[in-house]
Amino acid sequence: MVHVEVVVSLLRGSVSSVHLDMAVGSTLAQALQQSGLLPPGWQGQHLTVGIWGRCLPLETVLRERDRVEVYRALTVDPKEARRQRFKATPKRIGTRTARSGT
């Protein structure tokens, strides 16, 4: 048996996880199906999945203590999100201290 964890975050702010005991040789797709965390008909959808933050195909064979993850698509480019946050509060991020005695 292989012990794995399946983690799914389909909606912002909600995370669901389940621990599974899978047969040796099981794949990512089989773990997702057995978890019951995805809505019916998910096989036809394009999902980005991986193990421990690394995107992998659904045919990947699982190993002991793998963490299977389903990733949501980004709604905003991370660089653009940072620009928007900076515009909202134009204070400088971080601190600079004046050196005294020089």
- Structural domain boundaries in the chain: 2-88
Q: What is the pLDDT of residues 25-45, one digit of tens each?
A: 999 989 988 888 877 766 656
Spatial CB neighbours of 1, under 8 Å, sequence gap ≥ 6: 21, 22, 23, 24
pLDDT tens profile 47-56: 788 999 899 9
pLDDT at 98 over 60: no
φ, ψ of residue 76 to 5 degrees: the values are -140, 140
* Structure confidence by residue, pLDDT tens digits, 64-85: 999 999 887 767 788 888 888 8
The answer, as to whether pTM is greater than 0.75, is no
Q: Is the Cβ–Cβ distance between 19 and 4 less than 8 Å?
A: yes
Structural class in CATH, domain 2-88: alpha beta
